[in-house]
Amino acid sequence: MSAGGFRMADVSGKPVTRRRALASGKIMVGREAFQHLEQGTLPKGDALGLAEIAGLQAAKQTPSLIPLCHPISLNRVSVRTVLHAHEQAVEVLCLAEIAERTGVEMEALTGASVALLTIWDLVKPINPALEITATQLLYKSGGKTDEWTNPAGLHPEARKLLDEH
């Protein structure tokens, strides 16, 4: 073991199971930027579409970004952006799925986080006073815990994304 005591968890004895994880987060963008997002008129282009692509790419790159994260072969990643006019915010949902010996939570969280950062990058010319908030795991299934849902529950858009897959 290294001086820091770091080691990758040994998952070789675990059974391969279908595992899913759903993560979410929000970015508060303000009135003017929200209007540009709704209308697709940001100076750098379609922030929501690009954020979804960035989230997909990020989920696939998770093992190269987070030390000790197992390299896994994702079966599916879905990223969805949801506009919340009353909060002037964009919520990002990222669902990741595998059939493996280890979970897929970090991939879902990484996908959601990078999608949020992509929105930040594209919105900052309109409003640099942005805030990313509420990044969290909403749901996971597979493995020894079988199924777990965040104690706050799943809102309709999150439930819909889970039910589609």
CA distance 25 to 17: 27
79, 77, 78, 86: which is closest to 38 by C-alpha?
86
CA atoms within 13 A on the CB side of 95: 16
Q: Which fold has domain 17-142?
A: Alpha-Beta Plaits (3.30.70)
- The span from the CA of 118 to the CA of 106, in Å, is 18
Which residues are designated catalytic?
Answer: 121
Q: What is the pLDDT of residues 14-28, one digit of tens each?
A: 888 899 999 999 999
Q: Tell whether pTM > 0.85.
A: yes
Confidence of residue 103 (pLDDT cuts 50, 70, 90): confident
pLDDT (0 to 100) of residue 76 = 96
